[in-house]
Structure 1
Amino acid sequence: MDEMPTRAQARAQEKSAGPSVARHGRLKRHNPFRTIAALLVSVLAVAGISTAGVAAYAAFDVATSLKPAVKLVDSKGKVVTPGVGAMDGAFNVLLAGSDSGGGNASYGDRGENLNDVTMLLHVSADHKNATVISFPRDMYVAIPSCPDPKGGSYDAMSRQKINNSLSYGGLACTVLTVEKLTGLDIPYAGVIEFDGVIEMSNAVGGVPVCVAGDIYDPYTGLSVKAGDNTLQGPMALAFLRTRHGVGDGSDLGRISNQQVFLSSLVRTIKSADTLANPVKVYGLAKAATSNIALSESLNNPTTIVSMAMALKNIDISKVVFVQYPNHYEGDGVAPTKDAADTLMQALKDGKSVTLTGDTGVGSEAAPSATQAPAAGATQPPAAGSTTAPADGSSVELPSDVHGQTAAQVTCSKPFQD
């Protein structure tokens, strides 16, 4: 197995051979996978607790399960102090998923700590829209100067794959990198641990997903048949990890495949069967907080509950999963600037975004184009697209930007050469 280049070696590569050598193609490595579902689930779950006795016990027990907080810093290296009343208005939460194995020997020892999953949750100031942005792991970006957890700091780098940021300066470096890329302030963040995916899927009794054809991936152990499947435990984890089994075998296909799972998970969590069941709600909150290392700004139940209150009434048709605009370049991808600027400006202006393209290479609309009902909607939009309001409150994204809403029912596409 190739070793990850040191910081100095990476800088030397920039000056000589250009982009660093891709690690994406090593098929036999184990890539433990995490998902932003953990935070989204936890805040929704805490808000949904309906029985006073369960709520009181859950609040105490969940609080005691929080992991040691991670310090975030600003661009000058100054520690960010948690603010008061930060849930007023818009807010951003970054979730990084490390491929280190989380200390569980059964997942293998990678000897590296890369953020193979990087997602940003943006909630609008009026708390009517939530946008979840997935950043491709092989996307070339600028990494700013980051603090070294052992002391001192790392130099800025002009062009490295975004999944290197966690190894250079921990969660704080990933946050700084995404802030530089997007222009958004990100005061809340967490690193998701491996077993959380299994525990979350178990807590809701499994997540139903549609598969357009049989999928088999020997590298993750995934084996599902065409049609509807309810996934939990190790199989849910394998589904989220797979890329060789879906789409074109790339990380971009894996992102759209994840969105099939995440959109279904949101629908499952928001269903009466989950929110009316205190045992499921408590299990969700416990699974999330037990498997996320949170930033200091997010490491208290009060903040999580404040987020939950902002999220719990958002209609699932207003929860948009979007792949950060990109295009293939060399052995990876690069940001598509115009489309990315359109997306980020819409969020900064407090507007929702409307998807006009398809769901991505790893998924497709369900055969019946089924939509989960949106509150107050007279006619649901077609699967694979959304409809922009006529009042100009939403910004249409270019057709080459991929994603879906949580209301859209989609199916994973098997790998095709």
Structure 2
Amino acid sequence: MSGALDDANRSTVARHADLPTPSAFSTLFRLLGVALAAILVSSVAVAGFVAADVLNRVGEGAVTLEDDVEVAPPSLGAYPSDEAFNLLIVGTDECGEVSTKILGDRCAQSDQGALNDVTLLVHVSAAPRAVTVVSFPRDLGLEVPECEREDGSTASGMSKGRINEVFEHAGVSCVAKTVTDLSGLPVEFAAKISFDGVIAITDAIGGVDVCVAGEGIHDTLAGVDLPVGTHTVSGASALAFIRTRHGVGDGSDLARISNQQQYMSRLAKKILSAETLTDPSKVLRLMDTVADNIVPSESLSNALTLTQLALALKDVEFSDFVFVQYPNLTDPEDSDKVVPDYDAAAPLWAALIAGEPITLAGDVATHRSVELATPPPVDEPVETATEAPEARATLPPEISGQTLDQETCSVGVQAE
């Protein structure tokens, strides 16, 4: 790897002109964002310094973040318990040797720069630790600040640019700066991954069990034919599952996003499970794959830093891992695009900045695409002398999402 990977104009990229919706690979980025974060900040703690040679490779080609946020110095032990931190995951549509074989003519040397088809902000609160993962729609139109590129040149700001074009505009650092301006949260750490990296990490993880309800998923366009029940998907079958649009919910792209959330949560659970984290060979294989397939920020390029972040997360309960979609409204200038719903997002950012754990009030999904696998338990009041309940911020119903401890099933339909 080298810093040249951030020069999007010299990359082999996937063509988007004929694609009205995100490709299977770009949707997989969204799903693997949390998985990548989990690998970066969880598996390291298990492998420890036995994997120092692998961890040191993570720093190759590290990029500089323009907003030089102060972070705790690398040291033994967990990241300081009184400090929160934020990790930005940027998934780009650059093609490599493996993805070119799969995508064929969609990959070509082009003057078009690489897009950040997936942008995820992973927020980890100060102790008691909680994790919130915010996914930004790829077609979100928002203000983009003036940024400094890796080569030292200046990229002008834009009053309204699509978030998935910011990487092409000025690199990972500018994506981080844009997210900070939108959220008010500093981005201390960042990592970029491309198509081939996604494929490699998927292969290293193995299969994922997914649940299908409704009429079963039958979508000939996506190549999915799954009856009602639980199925293990991997490789091509996983790509087909997360790519299906007409086979779930109301057939909309927003329905597909919620369907993908089921896959994302189950994938993250598998990485965080004892099955994975107590198997040193599996952990090292995952770490080795990550080391060869990400470009980190300089702040994330130290083995001790990775270990600190890992130890900070080792005791987080699944109920305190929350996945949310950034709230948005239809763009009045283009009905195929969206713009920020600032009013709905304000309580989310306020809670994260204040270090308050959050409670979801919105639906687990949009457009009837997934449902809870089992109904939530009904708590019967018990009069006992207990401590006062922890104060939590309840998000508005406009924000949909789920916690890691919730099991969902995709509501399949018979696609025409």
Give the TM-score, by structure 1 length. Answer: 0.80
Tell me which residue corresponds to 1:354: 359
Q: What is the CA deviation profile of residues 20-40 of structure 1, one whole-angstrom value per residue up to 9, with x for unaligned ones?
A: xx9796259675442311122
Q: CA deviation at 1:221?
A: 4.8
2:62 alignment partner, one of 39, 44, 69:
69
Q: 1:41 aligns with which of 31, 39, 53?
A: 39
Shift of 1:347: 0.3
Contact 1:71-1:80 at 8 Å conserved across structures:
no
1:156 alignment partner in structure 2: 157
AA at the equivalent of 2:46 = G
How far residue 168 of structure 1 moved from its aligned partner, in angstroms, is 0.4
Give structure 2 stretches of 5+ with no counterpart: 1-15, 381-386
Q: 1:299 to 1:242 in 2, by over 3 A?
A: farther
Shift of 1:156: 0.9
**Residue 105 of structure 1: CA displacement?**
1.5
**1:369 matched to which residue of 2?**
375
User: After the TM superposition, which residues 10-409 of structure 1 pair with which residues of structure 2 at under 5 Å, given as runs?
Assistant: 26=20, 31-32=25-26, 33-34=28-29, 35-36=32-33, 37-49=35-47, 55-64=48-57, 66-74=59-67, 84=73, 87-88=79-80, 89-102=83-96, 104-106=99-101, 107=103, 108-109=106-107, 111=110, 112-212=113-213, 213-215=215-217, 221-243=223-245, 245-329=247-331, 330-361=335-366, 363-369=369-375, 391=389, 393-409=391-407
> What secondary structure is seen at the aligned counterpart in 2 of 1:322?
strand
Relative contact order: is structure 1 or structure 2 higher (C-alpha 8 Å, sep ≥ 6)?
2
CA distance in 2 between partners of 1:48 and 1:121 (Å): 21
* Structure 1 residue runs without a partner (length 5+): 1-21, 50-54, 372-377, 381-388
- Decide whether aligned partners of structure 1 residues 65 and 83 sit closer, same or farther in structure 2, where only a CA change above 3 A counts: closer
- Equivalents in 1 of 2:251, 2:150: separation in Å? 35
* Counterparts of 1:63 and 1:220, CA distance in 2: 39
Q: Which amino acid aligns with 1:93?
A: L
Letter in 2 for 1:334: V
Q: Does the 8 Å CA contact 2:24/2:239 hold for their aligned counterparts?
A: no
For 1:255-304, what per-residue CA distance to the aligned partner results, in whole angstroms no more than 9, with x for missing partners?
A: 32232112112222232222222122222222223221111110122111
Give me the whole-angstrom Cα distance separating, in 2, the residues matched to 1:28 and 1:56: 39
Deviation at 1:233, TM superposition (A): 2.5
Give the equivalent residue in structure 1 for 2:5.
none
Structure-2 change in CA distance of 1:360 and 1:327 (3 Å): farther
Aligned 8 A contact 2:69 2:186 in 1: no
> 1:367–1:409: structure 2 CA closer, same or farther, 3 Å change rule?
closer
**How big is the shift at 1:240?**
4.0
Letter in 1 for 2:280: P
Runs (4+) of structure 1 exceeding 6 A deviation are: none
**Hey, what's the Cα distance between the residues in 1 that align with 2:117 and 2:250?**
18
Query: What's the C-alpha RMSD, in Å, of the aligned pairs?
Result: 3.0
Percent pairwise identity:
40
Contact 1:45–1:275 under 8 Å retained in 2: yes
* Matches of 2:336 and 2:312, distance apart in 1: 40
Contact in 1 for aligned 2:143/2:159 (Cα 8 Å): yes
**2: CA distance, partners of 1:24 / 1:140:** 21
Which amino acid in structure 1 is aligned with residue 40 of structure 2? S
- Please state how far the C-alpha of 1:98 moved relative to its aligned partner: 0.9
Count residues with an aligned counterpart: 373
Q: Tell me by how many angstroms 1:319 deviates.
A: 0.1
- Pick closer, same or farther for the CA change 1:194–1:67 going to 2, 3 Å: farther
Give distance in 2, aligned partners of 1:206 and 1:158. 43
